[in-house]
Amino acid sequence: MRKTVMAIMLSAVVLSLMITAGCGNTETTETPSGHAEIDQGNDKTVINEGDESATLEQPTEAPGEDDLGAPIYPGAEYDAENSGIVSYSSGDASAFTGTARFITDDGFGDVVGWYRGRLGEPASATAETADWLLGEITSGDYTAVHVEKGDGVTRIDISHMAASLN
């Protein structure tokens, strides 16, 4: 039950973080199992409830390829507004998900070709999207690369996920 409450709160805070980025305050919210402390800072929100903690960040600087677990298309611009990091821990588990969006004026076919040369054939592809999965989902540590044709731009989302049981 506590994890369900934490997940619901986490979703609500992600939305409020995007709306109130730049604001800073600390508040306590009552939950069915007690209370949670929510500390919102300039690009970061921390939620603590008992032995559970969640941190949401919206970094203004692009993460590196080592952080993401995949190459970044040359010259693509980091889109901080559509990027973020969520980390969660409890007494027996922890999880991390970081997604960085990059945008380029280069054509969809050129970007997909570049990734194909570095990552091989995509796991799935259409005329407007291509997806790669690096690592195994069952391992709890993997990276997904999603390339999407936009209106005059190509969007690249790189998401790294890591989970473990302590």
Output the six-digit token pair for 28.
Answer: 């306590």
Dihedral angle computed from the Cα positions of residues 24, 25, 29 and 34, in that order, rounded to the nearest 10 degrees? 110
Angstrom distances, CA of residue 108 to CA of 60, 81, 124, 148, 151: 25, 22, 15, 7, 11
Report whether pLDDT(39) > 70: no
Residue whose pair of structure tokens reads 């409830």 in the numeric block: 49
What is the per-residue pLDDT across 63-114, written as a single tens digit (0 to 9) for each? 999 989 999 999 999 999 999 998 888 888 889 899 999 999 999 999 999 9
pLDDT at position 123 is 96
Give the integer Cα–Cα distance in Å for 44 and 46.
7
The predicted structure's pLDDT at residue 24: 53
For residue 2, is pLDDT > 60?
A: no
Helix (H, G, I), strand (E, B) or coil at 131: strand
Q: Are 104 and 73 in contact (CB under 8 A)?
A: yes
**Which one has a higher pLDDT value, 164 or 22?**
164
